Amino acid sequence: MHDHFIRPNISLKDHTSIKIGGNAAYFSEVDTVEDLLFLVDWAHQERVPYFVLGGGTNLIFSDKGYEGLVIKVTGKKFSLLPGNRIVAEAGASMADLVEFAVQHNLSGLEWAGGLPGTLGGAIRGNAGAFGGEMKDAITRVAVLAPDTNQVEILSGDNSKFSYRNSIFKEQGGIVLSAELQLTPADDPEKIKSLTEEKIAYRQTFHPMEYPNAGSFFKNINNPQAIERILYRDNFLREDVEKKWHHKIPVAVLIAELGLSGKKIGGAEVSRKHANFIVNAKGASAEDIVITSGIIKNKMQSIYGILLEEEVEFTGF
């Protein structure tokens, strides 16, 4: 690794799914732990902050970019181990891992069909969909520990996974690789069809025609908040109990507030799925921030609910 692998002034638009963001002052792609350690050390010596980037599918970088070093984790190797386990580097795409599981007739990742991004990003945020979560499959995580910069191995239990959260999100650390425990399936066709079903669902119901960063806000699962919403919108009660498993999808409420299709500059609240704020036409990060602020304000004043972002803002 030499200094010239650290490139100055690289557009972050090109590294995020929502295609927004100014430049990173410094940018580097790494696929080995040695190079990663070099970069962390370099940032420390240059006294600049660093930010770890996976697939950039859950991020909004500010219009002024990132005044530090963006390290894109690109190691993508993975393999099958005895006992139906997959070991994979953090930069492996979830799409490749899901496909690999299907090919080897292994069950456990069907829910992740169509989930964008890398393994590292999915572990940090305990990504989930259709009732599945990363925590169901992850048995071990190798992480470059914050502060010490030593490689540590954590079990799935010690990774403290919860709804869109983990010890890595709470305490930092760079996920290097992980082990996933899957189970052999009786019927290969079933794994394939369940996975393809999820991919098709996303293509139908998510606004894939525009750049986006996935669901913008976390769904509501706090019982008190749910009661407050039902006090106003009692007609949702049956769906909460029977269809949504005691959660309320934020998309339903945003649509109820009449905000579907709301446009600010190039940003738009999707008409297809109101919990997506899409980059409809050359949106700036500021357009996105204002749009999300309008949603949050109205949600607070009408339902008394403070929404929490699922996407992450960086460099603001």
Ligand X SMILES: Cc1cc2nc3c(=O)[nH]c(=O)nc-3n(C[C@H](O)[C@H](O)[C@H](O)COP(=O)(O)OP(=O)(O)OC[C@H]3O[C@@H](n4cnc5c(N)ncnc54)[C@H](O)[C@@H]3O)c2cc1C
Using CB under 6 A as the criterion, which residues of the chain lie in contact with ligand X when the complex forms? 17, 51-59, 73, 90, 115-118, 120-122, 124-125, 127-129, 168, 174-175, 206, 212-214, 312
Catalytic residue among 93, 159, 215, 284: 215
Which residues of the chain form beta strands (DSSP E)? 7-11, 23-30, 50-53, 59-61, 66-73, 78-81, 85-89, 106-107, 128-129, 132-133, 138-144, 151-155, 174-181, 183-184, 263-264, 267-269, 277-279, 312-314
310 is catalytic: yes
Which has the closest alpha carbon to 195: 211, 182, 208?
Answer: 182
Q: How far is the CB of 89 from ligand X (least distance, A)?
A: 9
Q: How far is the CB of 226 from ligand X (least distance, A)?
A: 21
197: tokens are 């079903």
215 is catalytic: yes
Please identify, using beta-carbon distances, which residue of 60 and 255 lies nearer to ligand X: 60
Q: How far is the CB of 133 from ligand X (least distance, A)?
A: 8
Distance of CA 68 to the CA centre of its chain: 22
Catalytic residue among 107, 110, 124, 164: 164
Q: How far is the CB of 92 from ligand X (least distance, A)?
A: 10
Please identify, using beta-carbon distances, which residue of 205 and 231 lies nearer to ligand X: 205
Please identify, using beta-carbon distances, which residue of 122 and 229 lies nearer to ligand X: 122
Which has the closest alpha carbon to 218: 275, 291, 135?
Answer: 275
Q: How far is the CB of 302 from ligand X (least distance, A)?
A: 26
Which has the closest alpha carbon to 125: 97, 82, 161, 93?
Answer: 161
Distance of CA 198 to the CA centre of its chain: 17
Please identify, using beta-carbon distances, which residue of 164 and 303 lies nearer to ligand X: 164
Q: How far apart are the first and last CA of the chain?
A: 30
Single-letter code of the amino acid located at 236: L
Distance of CA 302 to the CA centre of its chain: 28
166: tokens are 């983990």
Residues taking part in catalysis = 164, 215, 310
